[in-house]
A and B are shown apart, each in its own frame.
Chain A
Amino acid sequence: MAAEPAYTVASDSETTGEEKSSSPLPEIAIGIDIGTSQCSIAVWNGSQVEIMRNTRNQKLMRSFVTFKNEIPTGGVSNQLAHEYEMLTGSTIFNMKRLIGRLDTDPVVHASKNLPFLVQTLNIGVRPFIAALVNNMWRSTTPEEVLAIFLIELRVLAEVHLKRHVSNAVLTIPVSFSRFQLSRIERACAMAGLHVLRLMPEPTAVALLYAQQQQQTVHENLGSGSEKNALIFNMGAGYCDAALTATAGGVSQIKALAGMTLGGEDMLQNMMHYLLPEMDNLFSRHGIEEIKKIGLLRVATQDAIHKLSFQSSVQIDVDLGNGTKICKVLDREEFEVVNQKVFEKCEFLTRQCLQDAKVEIEDVNDIILVGGCSYIPKIKNILMSICKRGELYSEINPLEAAVRGAALEGAVASGINDPFGNLDLLTIQATPLSIGIRADGNSFVPIVQRNTTMPARRELIFTTLHDNQTEALIIVYEGDEKVVEKNHLLGYFKITGIPPAPKGVPEINVCMDIDASNVLRVFAGVIMPGTQHPVTPFMEVRMPTVDDGHGWCAEALHRTFGSTLDLITVKKKVQ
């Protein structure tokens, strides 16, 4: 069987953003952009950001891990003879779409026709993922795959920098829940990396933009008035929008919006369009089927890519056993098939602008980045929403996120630049609301999305029943009204509520997000007319849930019904 993996798993407490004690010579943290399909790594070299290249001189490396031999290898060091090699069943990719998700998640289900094994039981546990090795399905996890990949990146950086590398800033999708972030942190810990920051991708781009604006101001000796930029980032797996207000090197994130939507969805749509019976054909997941799906995938991907630069493309692919696809595909067809995807892009952009309370006329620059930024329809959507004829052109769409992450790495490491090029700061906002279940099955936000961080907010709740002595605090993250549609972060019970008519005890729930983005939930009971909490307040660092948390909410509901429920005392005004 496989050799022991070359890493050890650190304890949970070590995987989070706890800061290290100060050392005399600060190590400059590296910036890592882990994309669904590609990744890159960069560092502040003392005067500017430098993107590191692998031995094959690539700046952008494919995100995959192949389990062919005894030791798995990833896309940093591994050279593929041909694209098809990636699609033989032995290679796991798209781990960013799978990490931290349950087997009830539609995104996981959509991953079932990838050319490796994704199996679901639909009960709210982690999906079963396996690679085909010597005709056997060998199981792994997205965290393990990501960790193997991160080790390769770390080694690359160490060779390049001729020093030990441990601190890193990673970019993450806006829509990631704190549970998903904890999985990324675990993968980093497995790879021996200490996470200094997990930065939503568009905010890394915003930091790079802030630096560019600062340099422009220096050159022109201008006053440096505030500039608003709308950033739209779409890669293979995720799509994000952000609005940043920049002045004097400070980027304040006014709004964030994101969803699981990207090139992979367009690819799947096109594959289904070209071969409608695809899901049935591949459900058996035999070696023959994997080969077929691999062929279709490569041909479709190639066609989509060409359609960004030409108006039509010829597809000619022989899947064997008489299944042949021979078709001319034009750009309009592609846009119709993916109409829903583009509608969602538009919705996301509008939501971001609305949340930021910034008028379109007040947006100075529109920045489009990510692998999908070459798709003409996406450009058109952005330009039409913003009523603009052109987009910001000073940023390389494929390098923006990693460059921003490297800048943040240098800033957060306390590095100074004599020319003021690191005179930068990002003021982050919460991408998702955080709240608890109350008022029946409703989600009651306590920290609203797009709240400036660090933040602390509280709300008062009360009991639903007479003489209710206990209450369940179930914490969720998201922006859906129905509580289950949000991400469960954890739960705990408050006990010792003095017997009283319903509506009398005041249950104070407070949420605190500190500078390291650590979330703590406080809760306690105070009876009217008294000044002291009845029992000591509870302090719980979240998320506390682990894999299989889909079960938990269900089990809680079955066990307790509404007996330990709370209702809000007052609606939030804002």
Chain B
Amino acid sequence: MWKKKLNSLTPLSSNLRRSKAPIPPPYTTATEFTSKQILSSSPKFKTQENYSFSFNSSSSKRLFKTPRLHLGLPNLNSNLFCSVSSSPAAISHCWNCNAVASGTAPFLACQSCRSVQPLDPSIDYFQILGVEKKYDIKVETLEGKYKDWQKKLHPDLVHTKSKKERGYAAEQSARVSDAYRTLTDPLSRAMYLLKLEGVEVDEEERISDPELLVEIMEIREAVEEAADTQVLNHIQAQIQKQLEHWSESFADAFCSRKYEEAISSIQRMTYYKRANEEIVKKL
């Protein structure tokens, strides 16, 4: 399959380096508390408009593995995964006109007066973009919903509104962007699903399966030594197949709540995705 040549065992790229930090506990109300403490000790941060940290594969890692790094900075997403829910049974009212939220869509903006509402972290990305909470979603439908929200929430459109509402718009709009970015990408969507189930993924964890390790090195060498785009395209097609395979196996594992298997699928998807990126760079 890959070019068989293993005599020069070059170290894997720095992408594969083991993370040195011990895995910290997931977010708890305790860390939430400390972050507040720090916020109060630096009042400067309170006044400024904040945007939540993105949830893509690179920064999500930051977010979950080393939460303390965020402590100096306001981070709206930090309470996202704390299961702090604002009792969904309670009826929401518009802060501006007091209209009652319609139950049909997430209450991010008021239907009556169009005011942007404060961020409600209990609404997950799937709810925001109006899709079922599962792995196999129709990605094509996300863009339209995403743009619909941005037309109601984007900070550019509330330029003339109060400072308070501009703050809400900044938060809500950033959250919708994160939702869109997270759910469009299969890998980050998979990780987000596990996260919602309270499962932490260490995508940087070194793979122990020697067979996979050998395969990855072979891919790397094959890519490095590829003579022309035809060869690269061929390798890419094979990687694409692998990605699809592990994507399916994630879906199966997740459905049957086999989280260990799901994590292992995610790690493999991560490797193939990176290999693919290297090919794209060379193409």
> Could you tell me which A residues sit within 8 Å of B by CB distance?
19, 22, 26, 196, 226, 245, 247-250, 252, 354, 411-414, 423, 425-427, 452, 454-458, 460, 506, 508, 510, 512, 514-515, 520, 522, 524, 526, 528, 530-533, 536-537, 539, 570-574
Closest to B30 in A: A531
Contact present for B58 and A532 (CB under 8 Å): no
Residue pairs across A and B with Cβ atoms less than 8 A apart, 26 shown, are A19-B166, A26-B160, A249-B151, A411-B156, A414-B161, A425-B147, A425-B157, A452-B181, A456-B50, A460-B69, A512-B51, A515-B155, A524-B72, A526-B71, A531-B31, A531-B34, A532-B68, A536-B72, A537-B72, A539-B45, A570-B17, A571-B14, A573-B57, A573-B58, A573-B274, A574-B56
Contact present for A533 and B147 (CB under 8 Å): no
State the Cβ distance, A13 to closest chain B Cβ, in Å. 15
Point out the residues of chain A lying under 8 angstroms from B150, CB to CB.
Answer: 250, 425, 427
Contact present for A528 and B21 (CB under 8 Å): yes
Q: CA A12 – CA B57 in complex, angstroms? A: 38
Closest to B69 in A: A508
Whether B268 sits at the interface, judged by CB under 8 Å, is: no
Contact present for B68 and A530 (CB under 8 Å): yes
Contact present for A506 and B69 (CB under 8 Å): yes
Q: CA A520 – CA B50 in complex, angstroms? A: 11
Given A226-B143, A458-B62: A574 touches B57 (CB 8 Å cut-off)? yes
Q: CA A520 – CA B13 in complex, angstroms? A: 32
Contact present for A22 and B157 (CB under 8 Å): no
State the Cβ distance, B24 to closest chain A Cβ, in Å. 10
The residue that B160 contacts in the complex, of A22, A252, A457, A570, with Cβ under 8 A, is A22
Closest to B203 in A: A573
Q: Which of B1-9, B95-103, B169-177, B219-227 contacts A (4 or more CB under 8 A)?
A: B169-177
Whether B162 sits at the interface, judged by CB under 8 Å, is: yes
Contact present for A248 and B54 (CB under 8 Å): no
Contact present for B69 and A456 (CB under 8 Å): no
Point out the residues of chain B lying under 8 angstroms from A414, CB to CB.
Answer: 157, 159-161
Q: Can you list, as one digit per residue, whether each of B174-195 has a CB less than 8 Å from chain A (1) or not (0)?
A: 1001000100000000000000
> Could you tell me which B residues sit within 8 Å of A by CB distance?
13-15, 17, 19, 21, 31, 34, 38, 42, 44-45, 48-54, 56-59, 61-62, 66, 68-69, 71-73, 143-144, 147-148, 150-151, 154-157, 159-162, 166, 169-170, 173-174, 177, 181, 203-204, 270, 274, 277, 280
Contact present for A454 and B42 (CB under 8 Å): no
Point out the residues of chain A lying under 8 angstroms from B148, CB to CB.
Answer: 248
Point out the residues of chain B lying under 8 angstroms from A510, CB to CB.
Answer: 73
Point out the residues of chain B lying under 8 angstroms from A454, CB to CB.
Answer: 51, 155, 170, 173-174
Point out the residues of chain B lying under 8 angstroms from A427, CB to CB.
Answer: 147, 150, 154
State the Cβ distance, A23 to closest chain B Cβ, in Å. 8
Contact present for B44 and A539 (CB under 8 Å): yes
Q: CA A196 – CA B280 in complex, angstroms? A: 38
Point out the residues of chain B lying under 8 angstroms from A532, CB to CB.
Answer: 34, 38, 68, 71
Point out the residues of chain B lying under 8 angstroms from A456, CB to CB.
Answer: 50-54, 174
Contact present for A247 and B144 (CB under 8 Å): yes
Q: CA A512 – CA B51 in complex, angstroms? A: 8
Q: CA A157 – CA B166 in complex, angstroms? A: 30
The residue that A426 contacts in the complex, of B156, B162, B166, with Cβ under 8 A, is B156
Interface contact tally, CB-CB below 8 A: 135
Point out the residues of chain B lying under 8 angstroms from A526, CB to CB.
Answer: 68-69, 71-72
State the Cβ distance, B245 to closest chain A Cβ, in Å. 21
Contact present for B170 and A252 (CB under 8 Å): no
Q: CA A223 – CA B95 in complex, angstroms? A: 33
Closest to A510 in B: B73
State the Cβ distance, A574 to closest chain B Cβ, in Å. 5
Point out the residues of chain B lying under 8 angstroms from A411, CB to CB.
Answer: 156-157
Contact present for A533 and B170 (CB under 8 Å): no
Extra A-B contacts (19), CB below 8 Å, given A425-B150, A522-B73, A533-B38: A19-B166, A248-B151, A250-B150, A354-B280, A411-B156, A458-B69, A460-B69, A510-B73, A515-B49, A515-B155, A515-B170, A520-B48, A526-B69, A532-B71, A536-B42, A570-B61, A571-B14, A573-B57, A574-B56
Point out the residues of chain A lying under 8 angstroms from B44, CB to CB.
Answer: 539
Q: CA A249 – CA B151 in complex, angstroms? A: 9
Given A427-B154, A522-B73: A248 touches B174 (CB 8 Å cut-off)? no
Contact present for B204 and A250 (CB under 8 Å): no
Closest to A462 in B: B20
Contact present for A537 and B42 (CB under 8 Å): yes
The residue that B147 contacts in the complex, of A19, A196, A250, A573, with Cβ under 8 A, is A250
Contact present for A458 and B53 (CB under 8 Å): yes
State the Cβ distance, A460 to closest chain B Cβ, in Å. 6
Q: CA A273 – CA B274 in complex, angstroms? A: 47
Contact present for B204 and A570 (CB under 8 Å): yes
Point out the residues of chain B lying under 8 angstroms from A354, CB to CB.
Answer: 280
Q: CA A414 – CA B19 in complex, angstroms? A: 48
Given A506-B69, A510-B73, A522-B73: A226 touches B144 (CB 8 Å cut-off)? yes
Closest to A506 in B: B69
The 4 closest A-B pairs by CB, nearest first: A515-B155, A414-B160, A250-B147, A537-B72
State the Cβ distance, B42 to closest chain A Cβ, in Å. 6
Contact present for B72 and A22 (CB under 8 Å): no
Contact present for A514 and B51 (CB under 8 Å): yes
Point out the residues of chain B lying under 8 angstroms from A460, CB to CB.
Answer: 62, 66, 69
Q: CA A530 – CA B24 in complex, angstroms? A: 11
Q: Which of B58, B156, B170 has the most CB of A within 10 A?
A: B156
Closest to B171 in A: A454
Point out the residues of chain A lying under 8 angstroms from B143, CB to CB.
Answer: 226, 245, 247
Contact present for A573 and B15 (CB under 8 Å): yes
Point out the residues of chain A lying under 8 angstroms from B173, CB to CB.
Answer: 454, 515
Q: CA A528 – CA B68 in complex, angstroms? A: 9
Given A248-B144, A456-B53, A571-B15: A531 touches B68 (CB 8 Å cut-off)? yes
State the Cβ distance, B114 to closest chain A Cβ, in Å. 10
